[in-house]
Chain A
Amino acid sequence: MGVGRRMIKQGPPPPLDESKITMLKKRKAGEPEIAPKAKAAPAKKRRRSDADEQTTSKKAAPKKSKANGAPNGSAKADKKKVVEKKVAEKKKPVPMSDSEDEDEEMEEMEDDEFGDLDGVSDGSLDSDEGVGRLSDLEDDDSVIDSDGDDHPRETMFSDDEDLSDAEEQLTAANIEGLSRKLDAEQQAEAEEAEQELQEAAMQTNIAGDRPDVFGQDGQPGLAPDLQLLRQRITDTIRILGDLKTLGQADKSRADYVDLVLNDICTYYGYTRYLAEKLWNLFTPMEAFAFFEANETPRPVVIRTNTLRTNRRSLAQALINRGVVLEPVGKWSKVGLQVFESAVPLGATPEYLAGHYILQAASSFLPVMALAPQPNERVLDMAAAPGGKTTYMSALMRNTGTVIANDASKPRAKGLIGNIHRLGCKNTIVTNMDARTAFPKAIGGFDRVLLDAPCTGTGVISKDAGVKTSKDERDFLAIPHMQRQLLLAAIDSVDHSSKTGGYIVYSTCSVTVEENEAVVQYVLRKRPNIKIVDTGLGDFGSPGFTSYMGKKFDAKMTMTRRYFPHRENVDGFYVCKLKKTGPTPVTQSSTTETSTKPGRARSSSKTESTDDESYDKTPILDEDGSAQDHEGGSFGPFAEDEDQERINRAERNRLRRKGLNPKGVLNKPKKNKDASALKDTENPKEEKSEAKKPEVKKSEAKKPEEKKPEAAKKSSNEGKGEKKTVTKGEEKKEKKSAKKSAKKSAK
């Protein structure tokens, strides 16, 4: 029954032939005695048509919903309903078709012919009516309608005749029973169709309907139904998009967010902490897209080694080996995206000869932002496995010097292999801790690339272990290390370089703590740097200028963020900094004190005035203050004023930890005064020491040096700014070491 796709594609239906319709009418009018027989006839045929109708109506459902969106479509649907009802009423008392019915049929046919907007949906309705009229002719007609109206009418008539032959097998005895059965079936079917229509309307036109996503909790202990879970996630996200109209009155946004986060944790396998962190970066819709994108792998990208070959000949060589590839995008001249490969890409003769390297598209970006020039001195602080280092070397055409450092020796092995395979002859590979080694070992670089070690929240698609392995501690310790690295990177750069003086900071993480917050920190700590344009054009999205109440530098929009769901590269962050002047000696030596007010200000703005005076007070180490209590070298102390400060600092500390100070402080105290005292002196360092025990260990070598801070400060100021950067840097190094030694002594 029905026509194939071939027919549907053949264009719009031909105009209705009036003569045939009139013929049809005549036949019907002229053969009343056949009608009762005909009435039962569909019973057999119905089996077939029923099944088909179901399938057609199923197919029709989505289309129907579309049509309902359009005004004329819905009007028509209403009309159909009316017609249907009429027919249903009529057919019970008089099973035979009368003239009125036929008129309707005429009208309806015209509808079908000319209103092809919802031809399919109409068809499915027609089929009901057709059955109602008990004429297999109509039945057939309608079904043809449902598939498309271009079926030639001639065949329809011939069909009709065949069927009417078959009908004559029915006897008068079984007619009544069959017809009753048929009626019941029709009624059921009509109801079903009505219901379906309503469902379709519900899916498209949801206004006024407030889905309840809270009520569908599965049984605890059972494995969750992923299908349902996903449905609920999408539902909740839709509600969050328009909470006012879709949300339930007694539920707040927080409830919905809580629900969807729990679902995301279950569905994708994140820890709640990480899911929340990532969720907060985006709008609900985007966050969902991000989580989804983390489940699919990014495209395989290779980078042409321009030291050995060019992209065109490499592409040709690989295509000859059965690799399907194309340029990765307009933004890169050396990248090739691989779609499928008949050979392992990591073991082709071209790979071994160093013509290309497998490298994620996102890791091109920091090097492109750095844009190293020939004959420069460039540092890569965290180089392994060497994709970026070799790219830099290639951009410099093997001139100048590239120093590639990595803190891990096993990882450096791969780095050395790649450097030699790709023929980079201007590199030195070192294995040092970049935080302390630079600029001590070598400084004065024209450019420094810091692709900092990170939590890897941008590369979850590569390493799903991130979902569960990263906890709160990592999100404190890793940014802290990144800050240290970035400060070292800034200090290693030669600001007076004719061609350079740039630092590029990048991470493969998307969280703000590791990106904007780190950059903001060094902007505050080093006044001699500024954010400059990355030079990556408009590829990527701008960095955040504010996030969850934190305000960042206005120029943070010049940094670039990359997301798997937007750019289809790994999640990435690139920031380019320019060093404009030498790091002031006083700045570097008093960094600890000067940053403290900044930190306090960022956490609570109201107390900024107080912080100014706080800045001027000489900083005491714990032993010093203890001596004072016993009548040491310092003058008298205002105890109550101190206590006030101590309390405030304690409140700040708690607030930073995310606790409610009122709630915690009202609890019974346990040795609070001592800790509070510590906090007033250096709340930040306290925190950092807790984060990095190994740093503390290394710095704890010189505990005996305990000069009063004030004296030291004045001596520093006496020295003034040093012209020679490296010397100043070394001095600073020493001083900070002393200072930290003191701290650890506490």
Chain B
Amino acid sequence: MRALDETETRTMFTKLASYTGASLSNLIAPPAEGTAVTERMVFRLVKDRVFYLPERIANFATSIPRDSLLTAGTMIGKFTKTGKFRLNMSSLSIIAPHARVKCWVKSNGEMPILYGSNVLKAHVARWSEDAPEHSGCVIFNQNDTPLGFGVTARSTAEMRKLEPTAVVVFAQADVGMYLRDEDTMFTT
């Protein structure tokens, strides 16, 4: 378990920033009085997996043999062999509160998303106003429960002109993966 190096940090933060925008800094904000942040949060790399956890817990985890350590804190994602960073489903709880582009789906669109399909225009109830094309987008249901995340297919302006069956968000991950990909999600 180690801290991320320069290039790794840059790659990962670029990826995260596409979902969170400028509020990415909230994730690594130092603890301060009067804010919700009470602990210093850090990113740690184990093999190719990246974990987001309080520094205190990271220090605990150093005393666990590497083979026995399965997770610590929240798993964010992993680095591919080519050096790209891929967000895991479990990062949803990290990026959802800080999401820049959001998309709320109607209740009839919930189940298709949980089965892994893309978001259609007909299912969209609400949409962030200034969303650009191909930017990260977090999908919520009507009760503001995050269901997954993906990449916008069109900008907000273009989307208005589309027919109802057109795809507006390409799904990357959804909470249905907890059932579908239970076996492979966290394997190291």
Contacts and interface: CB of A to CB of B under 8 A. Distances in A.
B179 A428 contact: no
B72 interface: yes
B71 A427 contact: yes
A412 interface: yes
A442 B54 contact: no
Residue of B74, B93, B114, B143 contacting most chain A CB atoms (<10 Å): B93
Interface stretch (A199-207, A263-271, A345-353, A640-648): A345-353
B112 to A, nearest CB: 12
B70 A412 contact: yes
A426 B56 CA distance: 10
A431 B68 contact: yes
Nearest to B111: A349
A620 interface: no
A484 interface: no
B16 interface: no
A694 B73 CA distance: 33
Contacts, number: 95
Interface stretch (A158-166, A416-424, A660-668, A735-743): A416-424
A416 B186 CA distance: 7
B60 A416 contact: no
A403 B145 CA distance: 28
B35 to A, nearest CB: 15
Interface string B52-82: 0110110011011101111111110000000
B176 interface: yes
A74 interface: no
Interface of A: 317, 346-347, 349-350, 352-355, 399, 401, 403, 409, 412-414, 416-417, 419-421, 423, 425-432, 437, 441-442
A416 B71 contact: yes
Interface in B132-153: 141, 143, 145-147
Contacts of A416: 70-71, 186
A425 B56 CA distance: 12
A423 B179 contact: no
B4 interface: no
Contact of A349 (B53, B69, B141): B141
A426 B61 CA distance: 11
A428 B57 CA distance: 8
B145 A426 contact: no
B33 interface: no
A413 B187 CA distance: 8
A423 B96 CA distance: 12
25 contacts: A349-B111, A349-B175, A352-B114, A352-B147, A352-B178, A353-B146, A353-B147, A354-B175, A355-B145, A403-B60, A412-B70, A413-B183, A413-B186, A414-B182, A417-B178, A425-B53, A425-B54, A425-B74, A425-B93, A428-B69, A428-B73, A432-B68, A437-B68, A441-B64, A442-B64
Interface string B84-119: 000001100100000000000000001100100000
B185 interface: yes
A324 to B, nearest CB: 21
Contacts of A352: 114, 147, 175-176, 178-179
A428 B71 contact: yes
A430 B68 contact: yes
Contacts of B67: 431
A423 B56 CA distance: 18
Describe B's contact surface by its main secondary structure: mixed
B64 A413 contact: no
Contact of A428 (B72, B93, B176): B72
Contacts of A354: 175
Contacts of B57: 401, 426, 428
Contacts of B53: 425
Interface string B145-188: 11100000000000000000000000000011011001101110
Nearest to A405: B68
B175 A429 contact: no
B63 A442 contact: yes
B70 A431 contact: yes
Contact of B65 (A403, A412, A419, A441): A441
A353 B71 contact: no
B175 A420 contact: no
Contacts of B54: 425-426
A423 B73 CA distance: 10
A349 B145 contact: yes
Contacts of B179: 346-347, 352
A414 B185 CA distance: 10
Contacts of B63: 441-442
Of A349, A414, A423, A442, most B-chain CB atoms within 10 Å: A349
Contacts of B69: 428-430
A349 B114 contact: yes
A353 B110 CA distance: 12
Nearest to A437: B68
Given A401-B60, A423-B93, 11 more contacts: A350-B145, A352-B176, A352-B179, A409-B70, A412-B70, A419-B71, A425-B53, A428-B64, A430-B70, A441-B63, A441-B68
Contacts of A401: 56-57, 60
A429 B187 contact: no
A409 B68 CA distance: 9
Which of A352, A409, A421, A426 has its CB near the most chain B CB atoms (within 10 A)? A352
Contacts of A355: 145
Contacts of A419: 71
Nearest first, the 3 closest Cβ-Cβ pairs linking A and B are: A352-B175, A420-B90, A429-B70
A288 to B, nearest CB: 41
Contacts of A413: 182-183, 186-187
Nearest to A420: B90
A426 B72 CA distance: 8
A686 B86 CA distance: 54
Interface string B7-23: 00000000000000000
B126 to A, nearest CB: 17
A428 B64 CA distance: 9
A421 B175 contact: yes
Contact of A353 (B56, B72, B175): B175
A417 B182 contact: yes
A677 to B, nearest CB: 41
Nearest to B181: A417
A441 B57 CA distance: 14
A419 B90 CA distance: 10
A425 B39 CA distance: 12
A437 B187 CA distance: 22
Contacts of A347: 179
Nearest to B52: A425
B178 A428 contact: no
Contacts of B65: 432, 441
A350 B53 CA distance: 25
A430 B71 CA distance: 7
Contacts of B56: 401
Contacts of B73: 425-428
Nearest to A419: B71
Nearest to A308: B145
B137 to A, nearest CB: 18
A350 B110 CA distance: 11
Nearest to A431: B68
B38 to A, nearest CB: 8
A578 B164 CA distance: 64
- Which of B72, B75, B146, B187 counts the most chain A CB atoms within 10 A? B72
Nearest to A416: B186
Nearest to B59: A401
Nearest to B187: A413
A355 B146 CA distance: 12
B178 A421 contact: yes
A420 B145 contact: no
Given A421-B175, A428-B69, A349 B60 contact: no
Contacts of A426: 54, 57, 73
Contact of B185 (A412, A417, A442): A417
Among A399, A427, A430, A442, max chain B CB count under 10 A is at: A430
Nearest to B146: A353
